[in-house]
Structure 1
Amino acid sequence: MIVFRYLSREVLVTLSAVSAVLLVIIMSGRFIKYLAQAAQGALDPGVLFLIMGFRLPGFLQLILPLGLFLGILLAYGRLYLDSEMTVLTATGMSQQRLMAYSLMPALLVALLVAWLSLGLAPQGVTEQMRILNEQDALTEFDTLVPGRFQAMKDGSRVTYSEALSKDRSELGGVFISEKRFSREGGKERGITVLVAQNGRQEIQADGSRYLILENGYRYDGNPGEADYRAIQYDTYGVLLPKPAVSAEISEREAIATRELIGSDKLRLQSELQWRLSLPLLVFVITLLAVPLSRVNPRQGRFLKLLPAILLYMAYLGLLIAARGQIDKGKIPPALGLWWVHGVFVLIGLALLYWEPLRLRWARRQVAKEVARG
């Protein structure tokens, strides 16, 4: 029991450290993307942390299996390097017993991943889609920040307002710059600049929104040329475009697991198998990681780390590819993703029993040579 607690603590501590680092890296990259959209006015800055919080279960369901895989490799690799595993082997610790001990932390991780993939992750995606749909209904007027130039339409439109009322109904000191493109070929034809002392939002009967500018000028022309046209106006209407929000999620990810069960649609069947595959993935990678963590102290603990990571990437990549083939109907749902797990279970068993069988064969050869001598 003492050995079991010691091994479990080593694995879980390393798992926590590795998962935390991976989570920070992945969430930082995704947060930067959302932050860029907020800077362009496509997202309200106030919902950024809400979106990241709802995406957290989806990140963790993929990070935890990888964290466990690396945790076993690094923790057991250190034990082999410090000859602690040699001492444990001398006291009767076999590879099968080590595997049994390793499956207990794996069971905890698998239960957590199952909770995330079958429950929390779909709920998080649902809430994220709700927030993004609300953001998609906003206009440039709703996301405008006074005193800041705001780019829209991939930089082809820039809006600036010197002042903005608390109820966001009145603007002061308005500046709008927009590139003009030809209808045929989409070539840039020039630039239009609008300046006005005041502005207000007006909603039409069809739901479209206009920014009504008052007491200003419109300038049309090409940068670098002197043929600008200036028009003074008392009232001018500008259609407010809707910000384009990049969701990067699919609707089936938001469907509750209970609704996927019994569905005859291929995309929903593959989604259900994918969610069930993530907890199963935890046990299979444990079967792979335990024999791969066995290293020679002279070779160092990182010798097998790169091949192990490549094997894990091949496993996950094959699951993703098989999922896509199920969606296209090229793999029957009955076969589904299960054959991928079966292949890597066989690989894990081969890795687990290869070394003991090799040593047993070597001992037999030595015994034969001694008998002959």
Structure 2
Amino acid sequence: MIFKQALRRELSFTTGGVFLVLVTIMITTLVIRILGFAANGAVNPEDALVLIALATLGYMGVLLTVSLFVSILIVLVRWYKDSEMIVWFASGLSIASLIRPILYFATPLIVIIALLALFVWPWANRESTLISQRFQQRSDVSMVAAGQFKEAAKAERVFFIEELDIDKGEVKNIFAAETKNGRLSVAVASTGFIKNEAGGEKTIVLNNGRRYEGLPSQADFRILEFDEYQTKIQRKTILDPVPRDREKSVFELINDTNPGSQNANRGELLWRIGLPFMALGLVLIAIPLAYVNPRLGNYTAMFYAVLIYLIYSNLLNLTQNFVAQGKVDVFMGAWPIHTIAFFIALVLIRNRINPSLKWWRRQLPAFLSSK
């Protein structure tokens, strides 16, 4: 009982600490990436926090998988290094005694990983795409705001209106810059008004202003004065983009009858189901992998842990791509990777149960290996 409580307590604290570190690294990376998109006009700066939160939620299953794997290694490596495992082994426990309490601790997290992969991952991806696409498809009507520079979705038009009277439809101190056919045109006026056209379109009419065409350094630069200048505000119909395979729910992946997307759907479904199985396989591998000679006290196991995780996750992604391309059948791609991982975990655990025997005798049943 004391052994299980001590193990559960250390695993809880270590998993929480590792998870917080990974989330911090993830958020920092996402902040740099999404703010770069916002600076380039790909996303709305006002939506940056929402996009960061959605991306973090989407990768929460992967972060939990890594946290669980690393925390088990850290705890067991420390126990070996501080000779605590020797005390437990001297008390009659073996490495097999670690399997049940560790699985008891890891099972709820693996269930959470499965729920995150099956439901939260597609929802977060879908919401992120909708936010980005609606910003790209925004109409120029949304650009009319007092005291703010507003840029069109394709950065071909910029508006600035100092004052706006919505009831009268009047505007004051207008600045409108437009790039067409590689030529810059800037119009400024002190007054104007918004005119409603047929079909719901709107036009901003500038009164008594100036228009600058071209660049001052070029010979064709012109300055024109006008009594009235009209610039149409385009209205776009916002369409929801067709969901990609990573944005579809489990039911959509299963029920989609389109032959062109069936392989991609199966590959995506294979990855979502494979993530919790990968978490389970890494947990079982971490138990024997954490062995450290107390006299050496090194952390070589961490190097192998990183290598194993990279190989495991890349093989899972590679299998997903092969299934999506139709090169591998989904049923043939679903079981080999996880089966090999469970087999490796079994072999490593049996090797650590009785290290005094030769490696090939450790794989035999107990009644045969004792002869």
TM-score interval, normalised by the smaller of the two chains: 0.7 to 0.9
Question: What is the aligned partner in structure 1 of residue 188 from structure 2?
Answer: 195
Question: What is the aligned partner in structure 1 of residue 2 from structure 2?
Answer: 2
Question: What is the aligned partner in structure 2 of residue 330 from structure 1?
Answer: 327
Q: Distance in 1 between matches of 2:80 and 2:349?
A: 16
How far does residue 77 in structure 1 lie from its aligned partner after superposition? Answer: 1.6
Aligned partner (choices 223, 226, 240) of residue 230 of structure 1: 223
**AA at the equivalent of 1:316:** S
> CA separation of 1:237/1:96 partners in 2, compared to 1, >3 Å: closer, same or farther?
farther
- The alignment yields a C-alpha RMSD, in angstroms, of 3.6
How far does residue 312 in structure 1 lie from its aligned partner after superposition? Answer: 0.3
Residue identity (%): 29
> CA separation of 1:225/1:60 partners in 2, compared to 1, >3 Å: closer, same or farther?
same
Whether the 8 Å CA contact 1:190–1:221 is kept in 2: the answer is yes
Whether the 8 Å CA contact 1:173–1:198 is kept in 2: the answer is yes
Q: Distance in 1 between matches of 2:242 and 2:90?
A: 52
Whether the 8 Å CA contact 1:40–1:151 is kept in 2: the answer is no
> CA separation of 1:200/1:54 partners in 2, compared to 1, >3 Å: closer, same or farther?
farther
Q: Distance in 2 between matches of 1:64 and 1:232?
A: 64
How far does residue 177 in structure 1 lie from its aligned partner after superposition? Answer: 4.0
How far does residue 305 in structure 1 lie from its aligned partner after superposition? Answer: 1.3
- TM-score for both structures, normalised by structure 2: 0.79
My pick for the range that moved more, 347-356 or 90-99, is: 347-356
**1:131-280 to 2 correspondence within 5 Å?**
131-142=131-142, 147=147, 149=149, 158-164=158-164, 171-179=171-179, 181=181, 189-198=182-191, 211-222=204-215, 224-225=217-218, 227-238=220-231, 251-261=244-254, 265-280=262-277
Pairing 1:315–2:312 present: yes
Pairing 1:282–2:279 present: yes
My pick for the range that moved more, 172-181 or 110-119, is: 172-181
**AA at the equivalent of 2:12:** L
Aligned residues: 354
My pick for the range that moved more, 126-135 or 3-12, is: 126-135
How far does residue 272 in structure 1 lie from its aligned partner after superposition? Answer: 1.8
- TM-score for both structures, normalised by structure 1: 0.79
**1:292-307 to 2 correspondence within 5 Å?**
292-307=289-304
**AA at the equivalent of 1:303:** T
> CA separation of 1:171/1:129 partners in 2, compared to 1, >3 Å: closer, same or farther?
farther
Q: Distance in 2 between matches of 1:71 and 1:275?
A: 23
How far does residue 65 in structure 1 lie from its aligned partner after superposition? Answer: 0.2
Summarize deviations over 1:246-291 as a string: whole Å, max 9, x none.
x999522332223333656112222222211111111011012222
My pick for the range that moved more, 234-243 or 293-302, is: 234-243
**1:61-140 to 2 correspondence within 5 Å?**
61-140=61-140
* Residue ranges of structure 1 left out of the alignment (5+ in a row): 182-188, 365-373
Whether the 8 Å CA contact 1:270–1:323 is kept in 2: the answer is yes
Whether the 8 Å CA contact 2:187–2:209 is kept in 1: the answer is yes
**AA at the equivalent of 1:68:** L
Whether the 8 Å CA contact 1:44–1:143 is kept in 2: the answer is no
How far does residue 203 in structure 1 lie from its aligned partner after superposition? Answer: 6.7
SS of aligned partner of 1:216: strand
**AA at the equivalent of 1:254:** E
Whether the 8 Å CA contact 1:118–1:275 is kept in 2: the answer is yes
How far does residue 329 in structure 1 lie from its aligned partner after superposition? Answer: 0.2
Summarize deviations over 1:72-117 as a string: whole Å, max 9, x none.
1112222222111221122223222212221122211111112222
**AA at the equivalent of 2:60:** L
Question: What is the aligned partner in structure 1 of residue 347 from structure 2?
Answer: 350
Question: What is the aligned partner in structure 2 of residue 60 from structure 1?
Answer: 60
> CA separation of 1:81/1:166 partners in 2, compared to 1, >3 Å: closer, same or farther?
farther
Whether the 8 Å CA contact 1:23–1:59 is kept in 2: the answer is no
My pick for the range that moved more, 209-218 or 270-279, is: 209-218
Summarize deviations over 1:28-77 as a string: whole Å, max 9, x none.
33244444555566555554444444444312111100111111111222
> CA separation of 1:155/1:87 partners in 2, compared to 1, >3 Å: closer, same or farther?
farther
**AA at the equivalent of 1:72:** I
* Residue ranges of structure 2 left out of the alignment (5+ in a row): 362-371
> CA separation of 1:190/1:132 partners in 2, compared to 1, >3 Å: closer, same or farther?
closer
> CA separation of 1:207/1:146 partners in 2, compared to 1, >3 Å: closer, same or farther?
closer
> CA separation of 1:237/1:11 partners in 2, compared to 1, >3 Å: closer, same or farther?
farther
